[in-house]
Each structure stands twice: as structure tokens, then as C-alpha cells.
Structure 1
Amino acid sequence: MRAKFARRLIALGGLAAALAGCAGEQTGTILAPATIAVPAQAPRTTGRRMADEADHAKLVASFGGEYRAPATLRLLTEVTDRLVRASERPDEAYAVTLLDSPVVNAFALPSGRLYVTRGLVALASDTSEVAAVLAHEIAHVTLRHATARTEMALRSQLVSRVVADVLNDPATGAQMESQSKVTLARFSRDQELEADAAGVKTLAGAGFDPFGAARFLNALNRTTAMKNGTGSGAEPDMLATHPGTAERINLVTRAARRIGAPGLGVDERARFLAAIDGIAYGDNPGDGMVRGNRFLHPSLGIAFEIPDGIAVENTRNAVLGTTRDGSRRILFDQVESSTGRSLDDVLKATWNDGIDAASIENRIVGGRPAVFAVSKGKDWTFRLAAIRVGEGTFRMIMAAKGSADPDAAFRRWVDSLSGVDPDEARSLKPLHLRIVTASSGDTTEQLAARMVVPDRALDRFLALNGLERGAVLKPGQGYKLIEE
């Protein structure tokens, strides 16, 4: 369970623990069996069997379900068909699913299922940008990256096990396992760069602007920087499975220049904006929402203050958070608890490895019964709490890397847990993207002031529309706004 928690904390792109992402808050190829039929209602090209329907249903559910936006899905499907015809394997078949998640994410199953979140669609500024993401995912499938990565991982595990167990050399086995992780991470990064290069080629072959890939990655970098509260996007550590966004921007820009100068292909901006007008933006109030430095969940009737320096992602099953350097992480979720079961039993049952029995502490938090505990691993210290709110039981967990004990910050976070005022709950309305047409004399500052955002309205407007500071709006052209 502790390992599972650590994986969930690391998966801040909104990914489920079993998934691996690659474009942005990441996009990537999912390692999954390729054995299922596509449902009759799914958009598709032709002919091929897809991944197992049960696996597909679980994956979709983990990302909030399918998002119903017929015009958007129709555009994604038509773009995919164009890209497939221009790819090295035009006989492949693909099915596109639009996911109801605000996280910027896209990924592919080896079978040809492509998944795109509404958060990614909202970030793109034109058809060529979203086509660049789809071309990247198609490249993962045609290049058989998932299969190659799985085979390498299995070989590495086998060699390490043979050395450790059969040859009775655990130290060397552990060293080889560590080395294999580095090798696999480099292999995965190489795959991402290979998919980027192949995707740009396919993008241009389908008649789209090949520079759309760089524009999208640049928008991604800007939004990541705002989320992290920094001036630039965070770069991965040495074991990250994906190259830094800046490196990818350089690669796709060079690939596009080899094809030709800017101005090649079409971006189909007006068509794209018409297809996404009105789609949901950000969190769904029913699943909880982040407002400023607070997380509120009206359905559960709870709220808490987000710890300083923590950027959070609200997934369907948990709130996950991390500092920019990854040295401190949080998790908030609801756990099953039968009537009459003590909170310390609940905590032990959901975290059954390494709890320090002497650390278990019964407390009252805001009039609610709670149990605190500590769990220490080799590199991390975990502070845990189980809290009963009405008939529900929630976990709040903070992890700190190294010798630091997060006790003080953890207790402040737990003490901030409160109910949601009914008036405040009623004020939480879902946000949507609205496409407005610029009039003569409109400025970026004027349009940005109309957006319903917690802060940095101008920066968010510019990043959302692919504009730089000082940009002059074009009368008659559409621009994205975030509105209720």
C-alpha cells in the first residue's frame, strides 16, 4: 500500500497509478493487452480489433468518464483519419475517446485506441496543434513502442532476479536492477523524441501546419510554469521517463524547419474554435474544485486549505499534490469504513506496512474524531490521518523526502479541514470555454478581464490563446475565454 501511495503521488498528470503519460502534464502510450472489440457507437476508422472492453471501461472511468461533446469528438475523429492516411501504416485502425478530465493529457493503447482529455483540447489553439498530439500518439502505436518497452523491462527484471536468486548475489542483483531503471528511463525518453519526430512528419503529410507541435508544447510549458508558480516549466530528474518540454520544443521545431519554412500547411483555427465552443473547463464541482488556495467538495461537504508550495491535481478518486521539486507530496481521499470500525483500524487496513505503533494518536479535529500516525521508509517520512466526517472516512497523507519531518505542515493542513457553507457551495458553478470575436480596439487586457480565474488573468488568457505579451488582437478573429 505504501508503494501504491507513492506511485499515486508521482502520477500528478491526473494519471491512474497503472498508466504512463507523455505529452504534457503528460501524454504517452499505455502498456495494456491488445485484445478487445470496439463498441459499435465508438468513432473509428476501419477494421481492427481493439483493446479489451473491460480494460477500456476501467481506464475511461479513472479519467472521469467520457465527455459528451459531439462536435469536438467529430473533429478529433476526422483529424485522426487524415493523420492515419498520411502515416507509415495507413492500414491501422484507431478509435478516439474524449475524456472528462481537466488534466492536459493524451495517450494511446498499443491496439490503436487514442484518448484525449478535454483539458488538452482546451489548451490547444487550432486544429494543427491537437493534430500534432494525435500524430505523436499514433507514432507510438506504429513504432510499437509499448511492446518494445515491455520486453526491455521484462528482460531487465529477469536478469536482476537470476543474479540475485540463482547466483546468490543480492547486492549485484540490486545494482543491476537500479542500472536497468536508468536504461529503461533513457529508452522511454528516446521513444518520446522518436515519436515527436515521426509525428511532425505525419502532421505535415496530412496537410497540417508542422509548426503546430511546437506551438502546443510551448503552451503546455507556459501553463505548467503558472501551475508551479515559476517562470519556466519544471524539468524532469534523471529517472524521468520523458524529456523536458524545452528539449521537445527544440526537436519538433527543427523537424518542422526541415520540412519547410513557416506557412506550410493549414492550422484550421476557426474550425477548431467552433468545435470546442462551450466545452467544460477545469474541475467539475461535483468532483470538487480548487478555488484559490482552497479545495472544496460540495457533494461531500468538506474543504481544506492547500499547503504552501503545493500544486494539486484533483482526480476523480483523490486529490494529489506536490511541490515543484517533488520533495513533499500530499494525498487526500475517501476510504471505505464499516460502521463501528475504529479509525486506527481503518488507517492500518489502508496502510498496512510500516506504521509506527507508538506514533498512533487519537485527536479531535474541528469537532471530528481523527487518528494520526507515522510511517517511515528508506527515503520518505509519511504523516497519516484518518478523519470521520459524518458517515464518511477520509485520509490525509503528507510525505516528505529525506530527513525532513513534515509534522508541523501536516498538522496545519489537517486542522484546516472544515465544512462547506451552503451559500459557498451554491456559488461554485462549472466553468466553460467561450469563443468571442474580437472587435476593433479590443485589447488582450480587456478580454482577459472578462475571464473567471483566481489570478493572473492576462497570463492565463495569453497562454490559452497562444499569444505573447504585447500581442495585438485581430478584429474578427475568435479567442478563448474562461467563463461561468
Structure 2
Amino acid sequence: MDRPFPRILPAPARLAPASLVPPVLAVLLAACAGDQGAPLAPVAVAVPSEAPRTTGRERPAADADHAKLVASFGGEYKAPAALRLLTEVTDRLVRATERPDETYAVTLLDSPVPNAFALPNGHLYATRGLLALASDTSELAAVLAHEIAHVTLRHASARTEMALRSELVSKVVADVLKDPSTGAQLQDQSRFVLARFSRAQEFEADQAGVRTLARAGYDPFGASRFLTALNRATALRAGGAGGAEPDLLATHPGTPERIVQVTQAARRIGAPGLGSDDRARYLAAIDGIAYGDNPADGMIRGHRFIHPRLGIAFEAPEGFSLDNTARAVLGSTPEGSRRLLFDAVETNPGQGLEEVLKATWNDAIETDSFENRMVNGFPAVTAVSRGKEWFFRLAAIRVGTNTFRMIMAAKGSVDPEPAFGRWLASLAAVGPEEARALRPLRLQVVTAGPGDTAEDFARRMVVPDRPLERFQALNGLERGSRVRPGQSYKLVVE
């Protein structure tokens, strides 16, 4: 597999402060908005005989676990109009399911990543990033209907039981029957079976969700529109370098395949235009909500990354696009031949920076390449590592009590210097005045007038690159399509 950062150890620390999701929720969470895998032909979902069929919803998470989960996704986001809409849509959908007596507690999360998930105990979560991406109420309802379907179909219980039984069988074979080799083989096989079962559940939830969507009076084609927007947003986030590499162990089918499936399901119900999308009310409810990163977790402004809590900032070299993820800041050139990674690492007391690089990088580092230097008053160590297909420049920098890594990779044998040197030299402290001045971006809903064009609106977008493509993706517009006078559209503004 051709990856620029194939063996970074251990897993990098989060740049943003967050609590860990409770272990009991790892299997139960059904985070379904992200594109997490390769296309897979749908298969009939049959709960294995050894998995109990539940007749009531379980309560796997106490209030304390709920609080930890919410904290791990950035905390609750306060937007009364948006939360009220979420709750009303959820109630309307539940009445259209086969279990209309069940109730759900809806939580809006302060995360920029489009995501939603449900727990078997009736907790339903959606992120502000999801609200920003959807363009009407039927698209939002499509995501919520999918998550509700996971609960009504008791998917989490079956998946948990399969995982626990697979683990138990492997352990018995390895420990009791004294056959660790067969136990490991069974465990590997069970991972593929569980992944395929989980992906099949996603297809089943998609189909059930579209039916519920239509029964509730929403446009059943809202599901395909939202997944199309998600696919476009994912491609933009990846820098246009193509879709994600297929992962046989992914728990979700690929978004393009899901689009085909939900479109076919909607067509079986009726022609486009059936049901309401309630676009005007939806856009009014999300007007003004925060967009993108929370300043406390670091923000990207053009080619600059700023983290006021950590008191640092750096400038990406020309040609790189940045993405601030929960675990690291990633960057790439459009063709993917040069990439960078910036993250925080935990260190032991008294551990030198050279040892930090050795401990967190599992490829060979050229011994004579280590160099001590000062970067804008911060001690740093740089080094070189050469893989089979990538040339790496590495740095560990100590800023106060924090230690960071800066890694740049160039495909082939080309040394990424001097771009790496410019990037390293750009790392600097952020003053309190600049930190206080940082404000999150927000969505602004505007109405197109006569003569307005998509290009006009794109010029008003505060985004790192490709403003026209981002405006079109954010508003569900095809490339080359025109804005309609009197129609409302979303912009990203300061």
C-alpha cells in the first residue's frame, strides 16, 4: 500500500482537548455520515442464530458515559432553532417507523465533521458539520431516519454479540485448546465477517430509512442528495486526489454505492418531487451557525494554521492544502506527491528530542542526519528518513511543555527541502492579541437577486481554496449550474 506516513508510532495525541469515548460504546456507535469504505454489493441481513434478538432497547451507557461521549465530540453546540428542528424532525420520523412508541433524546454536537449516530438506548446525536452540509429538511431527515433504523432494527445488539462471541471463540481456541495459531486465524476471519455484516447493516438501514422518510412525508430523494453532497465534500477535503483507498475491513460501504442504492429505493416509491423538502425553514434554522474548526482546537486560515490554546502557528508551503483533523494537521499538494503532518506527541520527563523522533518513527532514520537547531527560539531536532517510495524530513520541536512533530514526505527520491525548511521556519508563537481576535467562521444564508452568479457568491466565501467548487458542493449545485433569483444559498463568512 502506497502511504506517505506508513509507520508512525505511537498514535499521535489529539491537538484538541477531548475525553475518550467509553470503550463500551466503541461497537455500539453507528457513525454513518462519513464515507468509510469501498463499494460492496448489498447482501441480505440475517441476524446470526447465536445473537439474541432483543425485544426492548438496552441501556449500555449511563449519563456519565453520555457526558464523556459528548465531550469527545467537542461538547454540545448551542443553537436553539437548529436543535428544535432536529427534535421535531426526529419525532415526525419516529411516528412513521414500525416502533412509533419509542422516544429519542437529541443532542447537537460542536464538531465540524458531518456525522450522526444513534445508541440503542435512544440517544441520537448530530454534528453542526452535518447541519452545515445538508441543504434542506429532507436531507437532514434522511440521515436521522438512517440512524433511527439502526436502533429499530436492533443492529448494535447483533453486532456487539457477534464481536463478543468471535472474541470468545478465538480466546478459547488459543488459551484452552492451546492452539494460538488457529485462534489468531479465527480472529482475523471474524474481523472480515463482522465488517461485511456491518456493511450489510448499513445497506439495510439505508433502505429502511428511505421508506421511513417517505412515510413521514419527506422527499425520499433527500437521502441521495445528501450522500452526493457528502461525497463531493469528502473529495474536496481530500484535495481532489480521488476517493479513499478501498478497505476490506471498513464497516461502511462506499458512498457512491450507497447513492445508487438509495436512489433506486426512492424511485420504487415515486418520481422526484414527491414529499416536501422544507428548504426555507431549514436554511432559516441554520443561518449563523458556526462553520469549520472551533478556534480552541486550532484553525486554518488560508495556508496558515493557528492554535491559540497551544500558542503556536505555522504557514504551509506554497501549493499545500491543510486539513485540521482531531489527531493531526495534514497537508497535501493537489497531485498528492508531497504531504505533511503536524501533531503533538507525549514525552517522558527528561526525554531528548532526538529520542522523541526515534521513539515515534518506526522507519530507519539516517544516523548522521540528526541536527540540533533553534526555530524562532524553540529547541528542535531534525532528521532524514528514506522509505521505498517516499523521502521524509522529520523534526521534533519543544514549545514550553509541549512537544510537536513536523514531517514532510516527497514521493520518490526527491528531497522535500527547501519546502520543509520554510515550513519549519514558519513555526512561531501566537500572541494573546491575535488569539483573542480569532473567531469561528459561520454560515450566512443569502437570497440571490437578479444578475447574481455562483461566481459572485464564491468570491464572498472565506475558504482555503476552490471557492466555487465549495460553494456548489455546500448548496447541492451541479458544476456549471446557475443560481436562481429568489432562492436562498449558504455562504461561509467571517
Report the TM-score, using the length of structure 2 for normalisation. Answer: 0.78
Match of 1:202 in 2: 212
Q: Is residue 300–residue 322 contact of structure 2 (8 Å, CA) maintained in 1?
A: no
Partner SS, residue 373 of structure 2: strand
For 2:336 and 2:160, locate their aligned partners in 1 and report how far apart those are by CA, in whole Å: 29
Match of 1:36 in 2: none
Q: Is residue 20–residue 69 contact of structure 2 (8 Å, CA) maintained in 1?
A: no
Match of 1:333 in 2: 344
2:104 is equivalent to residue 98 of structure 1: no
Partner SS, residue 121 of structure 1: helix
What's the Cα RMSD here? 4.2
Match of 1:278 in 2: 288
Change (3 A) 1:243 1:313: farther
2:169 is equivalent to residue 169 of structure 1: no
- Structure 2, unpaired ranges of 5+: 1-7, 38-56
Q: Is residue 77–residue 96 contact of structure 1 (8 Å, CA) maintained in 2?
A: yes
For 1:229 and 1:239, locate their aligned partners in 2 and report how far apart those are by CA, in whole Å: 24
Match of 2:487 in 1: 477
Partner SS, residue 161 of structure 2: helix
For 1:445 and 1:423, locate their aligned partners in 2 and report how far apart those are by CA, in whole Å: 34
For 1:233 and 1:116, locate their aligned partners in 2 and report how far apart those are by CA, in whole Å: 24
CA shift digits 1:386-441 (9 cap, x unpaired):
5321x3312327699xx999998997565653333677656643211011111122
2:218 is equivalent to residue 182 of structure 1: no
- Structure 1, unpaired ranges of 5+: 28-46
Letter of the structure 2 residue corresponding to residue 313 of structure 1: N
Match among 445, 448, 456 for residue 455 of structure 2: 445
In the TM superposition, what is the alpha-carbon distance from 1:172 to its structure 2 partner? 2.5
2:312 is equivalent to residue 312 of structure 1: no
For 2:493 and 2:174, locate their aligned partners in 1 and report how far apart those are by CA, in whole Å: 58
Match among 394, 401, 404 for residue 392 of structure 1: 401
For 1:96 and 1:250, locate their aligned partners in 2 and report how far apart those are by CA, in whole Å: 29
1:26-65 aligned within 5 A: 51-65=61-75
In the TM superposition, what is the alpha-carbon distance from 1:449 to its structure 2 partner? 1.4
Partner SS, residue 5 of structure 1: coil
In the TM superposition, what is the alpha-carbon distance from 1:64 to its structure 2 partner? 1.2
Match of 1:115 in 2: 125
Q: Is residue 119–residue 151 contact of structure 2 (8 Å, CA) maintained in 1?
A: yes
For 1:238 and 1:50, locate their aligned partners in 2 and report how far apart those are by CA, in whole Å: 28
Change (3 A) 1:236 1:360: same
In the TM superposition, what is the alpha-carbon distance from 1:168 to its structure 2 partner? 2.8
Change (3 A) 1:3 1:482: same
For 1:118 and 1:175, locate their aligned partners in 2 and report how far apart those are by CA, in whole Å: 42
CA shift digits 1:355-404 (9 cap, x unpaired):
99x899673340322467999xxxx9999865321x3312327699xx99
Report the TM-score, using the length of structure 1 for normalisation. Answer: 0.80
CA shift digits 1:254-297 (9 cap, x unpaired):
11111111111100000000000000011122221122333211
Out of 145-154 and 65-74, give the one that drifted further. 145-154
For 2:479 and 2:248, locate their aligned partners in 1 and report how far apart those are by CA, in whole Å: 33
CA shift digits 1:151-174 (9 cap, x unpaired):
111222222223333333333222
Q: How many residues align?
A: 455
In the TM superposition, what is the alpha-carbon distance from 1:176 to its structure 2 partner? 2.0
In the TM superposition, what is the alpha-carbon distance from 1:70 to its structure 2 partner? 0.1
Change (3 A) 1:167 1:408: farther
Match of 1:5 in 2: 11
For 1:154 and 1:322, locate their aligned partners in 2 and report how far apart those are by CA, in whole Å: 38
Q: Is residue 278–residue 433 contact of structure 1 (8 Å, CA) maintained in 2?
A: yes
For 2:445 and 2:309, locate their aligned partners in 1 and report how far apart those are by CA, in whole Å: 30
Out of 280-289 and 67-76, give the one that drifted further. 280-289
Out of 50-59 and 326-335, give the one that drifted further. 326-335
For 2:359 and 2:307, locate their aligned partners in 1 and report how far apart those are by CA, in whole Å: 22
2:429 is equivalent to residue 419 of structure 1: yes
Partner SS, residue 451 of structure 1: coil
For 1:23 and 1:477, locate their aligned partners in 2 and report how far apart those are by CA, in whole Å: 27
Change (3 A) 1:212 1:405: same
For 1:364 and 1:418, locate their aligned partners in 2 and report how far apart those are by CA, in whole Å: 15
Q: Is residue 157–residue 177 contact of structure 1 (8 Å, CA) maintained in 2?
A: yes
